[in-house]
Structure 1
Amino acid sequence: MFEGFTPETIDFLWGIRMNNNRDWFLEHKKQYVDTLYTPMKALGQQLFEPFLEKPGSILKVSRIYRDARLHHPLPYKESLWCCIRQDVDWWAENPCLFFEIRPEGVSYGFSLWHPRTVTMEAYRQKIAADPDRFLDLLRQTELSTGIPVTAEVYKRPKPAENPALAPYFAWKADIGCIRNEEVGEAMFGPALGDRARAMIEQLIPLYDYFCEITAMNA
């Protein structure tokens, strides 16, 4: 059961940012496990509950250690996240529902960060074939979450025969609907998990829609 993060969680994250080395981490490893990693696993399990009988999606919880194969100069990450996604090789090319904590606060919601070109072509074909479904999905998502769905756009947008779809034909990457919360009292305790769970559930239709698109090119 997710009981919440604490000020000690944020202390650790600032500490690893300022002291990103093995000696400091080993001295504070218990703080990492108790106040960051264990709560994140519990939160991930809470967020994943609506997907337990929903085939196709998996839960991933990150760890603080960087992948040594990337040859990053610093051994540890400065944030921790969990995400719900399809079982794919590279998460960034596929839709995901996520929660991330950083020294400055938390973010959670929907992301399709770096879709393949073929995915975005399939996306344009899909929304052109049934514009009402797509536009209604965007309206319902913003109505339920209070947050618009946004994206990085092309400098030279793709032409759209339907004027109502022109802004969405311009989407290129970094599609998201994300809530950000700065560090404060409201961020500590189990209520954060309830808020994140509620938003994740509100975003399932958006997630499913983009999973349909990526499945077309699997």
Structure 2
Amino acid sequence: MFTGFTDETVDFMWGIRFNNERTWFEAHKDIYLTKFYQPMKELGDEIYDFLQEERPDYGLIRKVTRIYRDARRLHGRGPYKDHLWFSVEQPSEQWTAHPTFWFELAPEGWTYGMGYYLPKPLTMAKLRARIDRDPKTMETLTRRLARQKEFQLETEDYKRPRSAAPSKLLEPWYRTKSFSICHEDKLTDEVFSRDIVDRLKEGYRFLLPYYDYFVTLDGDPDPREQ
């Protein structure tokens, strides 16, 4: 059961940021395993159990990222990450192209939410086509998002919209090629106790209708063939 991250967790994250090499990591590996990886896994397991209970038909899985960076993509950086995250998602060979719940802890703070890392252009085309067929559903979801203060819509936009939105309210969804609905925070007291569990459950419960909407996009018809 998750009981909270600790000062040792934070010290390790800052330590690996400024000592990103094997000798330092191996000397502090036990701290990484017991104070960083294991609590992250325990928190991920609790959130997975919650989401699995809420959506038992989705076949969700839980993943905790490795601290080791891909040696092929270091680009001058050290071999280790100074942050960790877990995700809850449907199994897929290309997880970046599908909606995902996540929680991430870094030296400066934490973030959680739901969204895509790198959706396929076809997925975004299907999103626009679905909104064209039924704008009211997405308008309802967008207004619901605007009424609360926990989450923000963050988008990576095309330079020019691919098509015109049915209303001004829906324009952000027509500009975006990737997006997340997320909350970012500093290292608040919650992450050092079980309070973060209830905070995340409440947030993910709010996000579930959005996940329900996006996770079914792949089953929509290809708008290029219509």
Under a length normalisation based on structure 2, what TM-score does the superposition of the two structures give? Answer: 0.87
- Aligned partners of 1:158 and 1:169 also within 8 Å: yes
TM superposition shift of 1:146: 3.5
**Structure 1 stretches lacking a partner, 5+ long:** none
**1:166 paired residue number:** 171
Q: What root-mean-square deviation, in Å, do the aligned CA atoms of Structure 1 and Structure 2 show?
A: 2.1
In structure 1, give the amino acid aligned to 2:95: W
In structure 1, give the amino acid aligned to 2:212: D
TM superposition shift of 1:150: 3.2
- Aligned partners of 1:118 and 1:217 also within 8 Å: no
**2:68 paired residue number:** 65
- Aligned partners of 2:58 and 2:90 also within 8 Å: no
Q: Distance in 2 between matches of 1:177 and 1:217?
A: 25
Q: Distance in 1 between matches of 2:35 and 2:221?
A: 40
- Aligned partners of 1:144 and 1:202 also within 8 Å: no
Residue 54 of structure 1 aligns to a residue whose secondary structure is helix
**1:97 paired residue number:** 101
Q: 2:224 matched to 1:193?
A: no
- 1:85-142 Cα offsets, whole Å, 9 max, x none, are 1211222221111000111111001121221111111110011111111111222244
Pairs aligned (count): 217
- Aligned partners of 1:109 and 1:178 also within 8 Å: yes
Counterpart of 1:78 (choices 75, 82, 107) is 82
**1:51 paired residue number:** 52
Counterpart of 1:147 (choices 133, 148, 151) is 151
- Aligned partners of 1:141 and 1:203 also within 8 Å: no
TM superposition shift of 1:71: 5.3
Q: Distance in 1 between matches of 2:58 and 2:16?
A: 37
- Identity, in percent, stands at 37
In structure 2, do the counterparts of structure 1 residues 155 and 54 end up closer, same or farther at CA, with 3 Å as the change threshold? Answer: same
Residue 108 of structure 1 aligns to a residue whose secondary structure is strand
Counterpart of 2:214 (choices 196, 210, 215) is 210
Q: Distance in 2 between matches of 1:65 and 1:31?
A: 15
Q: Distance in 2 between matches of 1:179 and 1:148?
A: 6
Q: Distance in 2 between matches of 1:168 and 1:132?
A: 13
**1:14 paired residue number:** 14
TM superposition shift of 1:3: 0.5
Q: Distance in 2 between matches of 1:42 and 1:215?
A: 33
- Aligned partners of 1:159 and 1:166 also within 8 Å: no
- 1:41-95 Cα offsets, whole Å, 9 max, x none, are 1100111122142323211111212233545552211110000112112222211
TM superposition shift of 1:37: 0.5
In structure 1, give the amino acid aligned to 2:97: E
Farther off after superposition, 92-101 or 192-201:
192-201
**Structure 2 stretches lacking a partner, 5+ long:** none
- Aligned partners of 2:5 and 2:36 also within 8 Å: yes
